[in-house]
Structure 1
Amino acid sequence: MDAQKETLLYSAPFSAEEKQSKCSRSQDDVAPQHECSARCSRLSSSCDSFFVGNSWPKSSYQSSDSTCRICQTLAGGRKSVFATAFNTHYRIPEYTASAITRDPDLPEQDRPSSSLWDRVQLGLCGKKVHDTLYDRCDNVETDKWGVTRMSDIWKASGTRCRLSNPSFDDLQESHCGDCQGLDSDYSGCGTTFNRGHINPNSINNKDADVQDGTFSMINVAPQDDDFNQCVWQPYECAVGRKADEVYKNAVRAGSNSKTLYVITGTKLGQQTTWMKGRVAIPGYFWKALCYPGDENAGLRPFGVGFYGPNIDCSKMTSLPLDQFEAWLYDGADEHLFPGSVCAGSVDNWDGLDDYVAEIAHDCRNEHIQDTCESEWRDKRCGTALAVKPQQTAMKETKCSRHQDDVAPQHKCSARCSRLSSSCDSFFVGNSWPKSSFQTSDSTCRICQTLAGGRNSVFATAFNTHYRIPEYTASAITRDPDLPEQDRPSSSLWDRVQMGLCGKKVHDTLYDRCDEVETDRWGVTRMSDIWKASGTRCRLSNPSFDDLQESDCGDCQGLDSDYSGCGTTFNRGHINPNSINNKDADVQDGTFSMINVAPQDDDFNQCVWQPYECAVGRKADEVYKNAVRAGSNSKALYVITGTKLGQQTTWMKGRVAIPGYFWKALCYPGDESAGLRPFGVGFYGPNIDCSKMTSLPLEKFEAWLYDGADEHLFPGSVCAGPVDNWEGLDDYVAEIAHDCRNEHIQDTCESEWRDKRCGTSG
């Protein structure tokens, strides 16, 4: 088998130059995060008037020091024009917040000049900029200023101070662009990505200052030109008209509730690419509205959210506010308007999509009409308007559809609180690192046990909302003198994590099985209860199977969720069976519904499995090298997990199908014995004909955490620079055939698969 060709099946490097373009490529200019945070700390974030309820809600981004909360001002002015949660790592807004009050008696302003784009958020510029301006422009202090250009400085200082060597443009390029995007980042890319306003210009055209402030590099993100002009813009137009309607209705009712609260933002996609290597290109643009109403005046509160993928020929999805928030926060219990009426049940803006279809033509200027309503675009995109009704947002099948069975989160959290999370031996350094999932009460940290046993076999951060693991952690010690166990029976999949079952299960077992207490038990089936209770207690009306279905599956997946879907999605082990086959208890414990997620069958068998085989062989090598060196450092620490994709679909409407599977290794080494520490991470999309990407550990963590400064092995040597497992992809290509059984060889190495996937072996 051609090893070079096989490597191509598994390895998809980030930095392949032939796949990059000027306007969309890998990141190559990383923000100095500590410096950006220091600059941000000087800027005001006190502008509650732009929020209804509590200010500064959580965004969809990972919580990190990269988020800079800014009350946007013009140059040195004190008037805030809107609020921006700006991400200095990605150099785009996470969201903006504004309070839209559109008095019909006020005139609409003309669109400002596009020359305003050359301004910078001066407060995010470096010290040299402020020192130079102070020295040369009559001691003007600019380190807390907002969006600024040179003429603003002349106005504030009262002088026509001139800068040269360096010029103001030179200062911008060299000392402002490290923590924010610049106009030059977008230059030359307009036919691919527009300067996409987050807080739009048009809806703010009743207030010249606010409208002016929207032309700012902290209010813009790269937006696909077709999506911006043909799809997004009519929805923004509809929001403006809704704000007009809100004001008029309030006046008519004699109410002061004339303001529509709007939050507009971005959400990252599956894999982030970067405009000119510097500015992140978001996966989605979205907008959410809240009108708090005035019940005394007969004005009912309402809300809505809508979003669209940031791609050519995109389609919009509009949702009631609570459902939109579930999409935005990937199921976490968060709200965009916390502390307000819109954090509860409010009316939906029904008919939004139909309304947009009705007004789209009138909202566009003649040039945009010619482009967006052309036969050429209709034929290319297969749609005239690109509105995606909610009910057709996803092609549904039995095994992949929208969620229709939501976990009772408070109950799940209460059950989880009884389970032990003290199992530090599975971690090197600090236990329970952060996962890639949104931080929420859905994360249940479990030291996995067998039935009522006390011996923990591995650690699992299990998400009860998604009903899949976020990750598992294990310490792999493969003594060659211990025999390998046979693979356990697949009948073990019918077990449940008993501690996550409801009270009715435990009460029934206590009453009928000799007072056995099971509310803290691990992975269990009926025979385990017989063994613990010393009786052959029988359950009927309800049976044990009935109890599992009705009172265990609310907080975890069940074997029945996967039944009938095996040709599409396998029961994908997170902590694998094979690498643990030196310890019967651990191996047994891997056959558990809290150690499994739906995994594409081709990806599992043909792509993922050879990498797991390679990790097992590496653990063998680690042990042998340690024995040879007379060292006790014989364990390879492994964390394996899932990461959500752009839009989560659900196995039978109940169990989330992850976008990626990933694995990270840390060997802490023993320098005194000549054993160097090393680490590596690899991941693959959970799709047919997938390809793997392996990376040095620090680069893998940057992918996993979307650039946030987090580590999988905090408090250990692997949280710093360590050796990479060089040659992993080539090694996998070499051993893949031997790692597969005959049936899998026939499937994965067939000419039919090679032709279908465009790869070899």
Structure 2
Amino acid sequence: MTSSVVKFLIGSFLPLLVLLGSCFMNGKHDNENSIFSTLRNSEGSDEVSYCDEFFFGSYFPSMKGNQSDLVKLCQTQQHTDYQGPAVYATLFNGYERIPVYSATQVQLYPNCSGYSRPDEKSWSRVSLALCDSYESESATPSRIGHGGQQLEKCGKYQALDSDYKGNKEKIDVDRGHLNPNAINCQDQERQMATFTLTNAAPQFAAFNENAWRQYECITEYVILNHVPSERVYVMTGTWGTAKDAHGKAMWMNADSPDKNPVKIPGYYWKAVCYPGNEWEHKDAWGFAVIQENVVSNLPSDPDKFLNLSMFSSKYFMDDMFGKSCLDAGIGPIQNYFPVWQEILNAQCGSKPNIVCNR
């Protein structure tokens, strides 16, 4: 049996086994007692296995632009007595202290409820792997946990929660999730692991709470509505640098010497790849959307969606996904363009009609 077949079988059936130990037990799973916990604990080690499962195509594909100060993180959590498995991947810039992108594979189950949003205190954790130095070539387990006495030292290559404190009031920025809470809320290990500042960047609150919230909601809705329980690859990233009214590059804490400077990205983007399903005769599809990170209450715009081939060639040095997605059309999301506002009102209002709120 070839390694590619083994990888396919693991990617296809391990999540199903996980759901048997979660959704069928009152819609929840308990990390200490379920079959889910047993699988995770058996994988918990210092080695990262299957970090490439979060990519369809190139492994950590390179974007155009600056290639220095980058580290490949296989996002893991440091528990009391073991290190959890890798649950998504992040290409992170240690100088700018923001991610270039986070990549994940999701399977959403319509009859499985989700966990509530974790406490905001979760943001105080750091990537322990970045607290001294980091390896820029090979992928590194991030080991998300509490920095303790070495917390201040941990800020050399990553943002700390204290770096964001006060900036909501000062320049109205949020901690902008890349790999989002909501799309991971059926799996508590994955959901908790999204609360790390190696998976977030300064995002203007007005943009975050309007257009970006709607893009995330629609993405989840399309996956649940059209390919429930199937594997879908999602990449979410940043691009460029925000500019102030005078055209100057914006960095959070630029005038606060007691805090670490953190770059404010100029754009946020999201790309989704469904590679198809030969057994069920389903064609591949994929789409991307990119919008400027500005102080604006403007809603999402269906005209901003691109096919993956166009987006990949414009922003990536390597193909961001495999050929089946790059050659595909944008899929079922285009059916909602003529009724965009109605869909937003029905699915993405104050109480979204999806698995979890953001």
- TM-score, normalising length: structure 2: 0.71
Aligned equivalent of 1:657? 264
Matched, 1:587 2:214: no
Is the alpha carbon distance of 1:521 and 1:726 closer, same or farther for their aligned partners in structure 2, counting shifts above 3 Å? closer
Quote the Cα distance in structure 2 between the aligned partners of 1:614 and 1:605.
14
Quote the Cα distance in structure 1 between the aligned partners of 2:208 and 2:343.
16
Q: How far off its partner does 1:439 sit?
A: 1.8
Please show how residues 33-112 of structure 1 align to structure 2 within 5 Å.
Answer: none
Q: How far off its partner does 1:731 sit?
A: 5.5
Quote the Cα distance in structure 2 between the aligned partners of 1:500 and 1:575.
19
Matched, 1:431 2:21: no
Matched, 1:482 2:112: yes
Question: Among residues 320, 325, 350, which one is paired with 1:741 in the alignment?
Answer: 350
Aligned equivalent of 1:394? none
Q: How far off its partner does 1:728 sit?
A: 5.0
Q: How far off its partner does 1:464 sit?
A: 0.5
Aligned equivalent of 1:726? 334
SS of the equivalent of 1:435 reads coil
Quote the Cα distance in structure 2 between the aligned partners of 1:419 and 1:672.
33
Matched, 1:574 2:178: yes
Aligned equivalent of 1:522? 143
Letter paired with 1:736: L
Determine if contact 1:467/1:555 at 8 Å carries over to the other structure: yes
Q: How far off its partner does 1:436 sit?
A: 3.8
SS of the equivalent of 2:233 reads strand
Question: Among residues 295, 298, 307, which one is paired with 1:688 in the alignment?
Answer: 295
Question: Among residues 231, 237, 240, which one is paired with 1:644 in the alignment?
Answer: 240
Please show how residues 153-302 of structure 1 align to structure 2 within 5 Å.
Answer: none
Is the alpha carbon distance of 1:434 and 1:486 closer, same or farther for their aligned partners in structure 2, counting shifts above 3 Å? same
Q: How far off its partner does 1:435 sit?
A: 2.2
Identical columns (%):
33
Is the alpha carbon distance of 1:486 and 1:621 closer, same or farther for their aligned partners in structure 2, counting shifts above 3 Å? same
Q: How far off its partner does 1:623 sit?
A: 3.5
Indicate the structure (1 or 2) with the bigger Cα radius of gyration. 1
Alignment RMSD = 2.5
Please show how residues 7-46 of structure 1 align to structure 2 within 5 Å.
Answer: none
Please show how residues 319-468 of structure 1 align to structure 2 within 5 Å.
Answer: 420=48, 423-440=51-68, 442-451=69-78, 452-468=82-98
Is the alpha carbon distance of 1:497 and 1:560 closer, same or farther for their aligned partners in structure 2, counting shifts above 3 Å? same
Quote the Cα distance in structure 1 between the aligned partners of 2:47 and 2:99.
16
Quote the Cα distance in structure 1 between the aligned partners of 2:209 and 2:309.
28
Quote the Cα distance in structure 1 between the aligned partners of 2:49 and 2:99.
15
Determine if contact 1:450/1:521 at 8 Å carries over to the other structure: yes
SS of the equivalent of 2:174 reads strand
Determine if contact 1:468/1:594 at 8 Å carries over to the other structure: yes
Quote the Cα distance in structure 2 between the aligned partners of 1:676 and 1:459.
26
Matched, 1:564 2:172: no
- TM-score, normalising length: structure 1: 0.35
Q: Deviations over 1:301-346 (max 9, x none)?
A: xxxxxxxxxxxxxxxxxxxxxxxxxxxxxxxxxxxxxxxxxxxxxx
Is the alpha carbon distance of 1:688 and 1:552 closer, same or farther for their aligned partners in structure 2, counting shifts above 3 Å? same
Q: How far off its partner does 1:702 sit?
A: 3.7
Q: How far off its partner does 1:521 sit?
A: 5.4
Determine if contact 2:306/2:330 at 8 Å carries over to the other structure: no
Quote the Cα distance in structure 1 between the aligned partners of 2:47 and 2:236.
21
SS of the equivalent of 2:198 reads coil
Matched, 1:469 2:96: no
Q: Deviations over 1:240-284 (max 9, x none)?
A: xxxxxxxxxxxxxxxxxxxxxxxxxxxxxxxxxxxxxxxxxxxxx
Matched, 1:614 2:242: no
Q: Deviations over 1:582-631 (max 9, x none)?
A: 1111110111010100001000001100110011112212443x7xxxxx
Determine if contact 1:499/1:522 at 8 Å carries over to the other structure: yes
Quote the Cα distance in structure 2 between the aligned partners of 1:728 and 1:642.
26
Please show how residues 546-561 of structure 1 align to structure 2 within 5 Å.
Answer: 547-549=150-152, 551-561=153-163
Determine if contact 2:127/2:198 at 8 Å carries over to the other structure: yes
Determine if contact 1:471/1:642 at 8 Å carries over to the other structure: yes
Quote the Cα distance in structure 1 between the aligned partners of 2:312 and 2:141.
33
Determine if contact 2:160/2:197 at 8 Å carries over to the other structure: yes
Q: How far off its partner does 1:422 sit?
A: 5.3
Q: Deviations over 1:488-523 (max 9, x none)?
A: 1111011110110028xxxxxxxxxxxxxxx96511
Q: Deviations over 1:460-484 (max 9, x none)?
A: 0011011100000011101223221
Quote the Cα distance in structure 1 between the aligned partners of 2:52 and 2:200.
22
Q: How far off its partner does 1:732 sit?
A: 4.7
Aligned equivalent of 2:8? none
Aligned equivalent of 1:678? 285
**Which one has more relative contact order, counting CA pairs under 8 Å at least 6 apart?**
2
SS of the equivalent of 1:482 reads coil
Which 5+ residue runs of structure 2 have no aligned equivalent? 1-45, 134-139, 255-260, 352-358
SS of the equivalent of 2:202 reads strand
Is the alpha carbon distance of 1:728 and 1:636 closer, same or farther for their aligned partners in structure 2, counting shifts above 3 Å? farther
